[in-house]
Amino acid sequence: LPLEERLQRRIVDGERKGLEADLDEALTERPALEIVNSTLLAGMKVVGELFGSGQMQLPFVLQSAEVMKTAVAHLEPHMEKSDDEGKGTIVLATVKGDVHDIGKNLVDIILSNNGYTVVNLGIKQPVSAILDAAQEHRADVIGMSGLLVKSTVIMKENLQELNQRGLSAEFPVILGGAALTRAYVEQDLHEIYEGEVRYARDAFEGLRLMDALIA
Ligand code: B1M
């Protein structure tokens, strides 16, 4: 198989053996981020489709996710970093009840490489933990990720909690994850949140939003 297809198959099949060698070969042709975006994410998309249609069982999805994480970790040192530092702080978390963290961790990498301080709380974070960390670290922005449909409801509740605690003016919020839509965030959630709430389709939009919110 050609290299790109081979790499995609490694993600889909959860096949780790020879992964690093293939990634190193790919790095001689293309920048690390492009490999993540065009090749590896395409593989995860196939995994999602197979799982969604019942053609792939959960343990195999987990294996694919592990290979994806290994690949991203291998590529990360090769990613471009800006010399900027201290541009601002974001507290980042996957919301309560949700374990998906590959996307969130990509956001962490992209923001960290571009001069932001990222306080990455991990997965299944209750709103109290997110708000405590935001206050403790004097975050400029709160970022929440979630891939389950029920996470979109949790995000709404979290924004209501920010309102209730009188923190909405202090904390603009960026939301991301596959179950969200732009309309849900920019219309429905925009209506209920008393501060700024924005939707990031991918990690790069997350970066653009950080730049815009902090400027
Ligand atoms: Co899960 N899962 N999963 N899963 N899983 C989905 C999300 C699902 C759509 C699959 C499907 O049915 N087709 C489905 C959700 C359906 C729904 O809610 N309606 C689903 C399900 C059902 C489940 C379980 C419930 C299955 C079960 O137990 N029966 C279970 C849930 C457990 C829980 O959370 N409580 C579960 C478990 C798992 C694994 C553990 C096996 C594994 C996760 C491993 C891990 O993350 N460590 C897993 C995986 C891998 C997936 C799919 C296949 C791939 C997700 C992924 O990593 N994509 C997924 C299918 C899909 O998404 N269509 C699926 C790659 C990643 C880079 O994309 O996270 O979207 P994503 O991030 C993007 C953007 O969204 C954005 O930037 C990234 C790219 O640049 N972004 C942000 C994300 N967060 C952001 C935050 C920002 C800005 C941008 O700022 C704050």
Any residues with CB less than 8 A from the CB of 203 and at least 6 apart, and which? Answer: 103, 106, 107, 109, 110, 111, 176
Q: Which residue has 């923190």 as its token pair? A: 167
Is the CB of 48 within 6 Å of ligand 1? yes
68 CA closest ligand 1 atom index: 57
For ligand 1, atom 21, name the residue with the nearest CA. Answer: 148
pTM above 0.95, yes or no: yes
Task: Provide the mean pLDDT of the chain.
Answer: 97
Question: 147, 148, 174: which to mutate for ligand 1, most atoms within 8 A of CB?
Answer: 147
For ligand 1, atom 83, name the residue with the nearest CA: 177
Q: Is the CB of 47 under 6 A from ligand 1?
A: yes
Residues 6+ apart with CB under 8 A from 17: none
Give the mutation target among 13, 34, 37, 51 for probing the ligand 1 site: most ligand atoms within 8 A of CB: 51
Q: How far apart are CA 107 and CA 200, in angstroms?
A: 10
For residue 150, which atom of ligand 1 is closest to its CA? 18
CB 207 within 8 A of CB 80: no
Give the closest residue (by CA) to ligand 1 atom 88: 176
| Nearest atom within ligand 1 for CA of residue 59 | 41
- Could you tell me if the CB of 202 is within 6 A of ligand 1? yes
At 57-66, the pLDDT tens digits run 999 999 999 9
Cβ contact 167:132 at 8 Å: no
Catalytically annotated residues: 98, 100, 151
Quote ipTM for the complex.
0.98
How many whole angstroms from its chain centre is CA 130?
Answer: 16
Q: What is the pLDDT along the chain (215 residues), one digit of tens a residue?
A: 999 999 999 999 999 999 999 999 999 999 999 999 999 999 999 999 999 999 999 999 999 999 999 999 999 999 999 988 889 999 999 999 999 999 999 999 999 999 999 999 999 999 999 999 999 999 999 999 999 999 999 999 999 999 999 999 999 999 999 999 999 999 999 999 999 999 999 999 999 999 999 98
Question: Counting atoms of ligand 1 from 1, which one is nearest the CA of 144?
Answer: 91
Structure token digits, residue 7: 């790499």
pLDDT, position 84: 87
Angle, to 10 degrees, between the axis of helix 3-13 and the axis of helix 19-27? Answer: 140
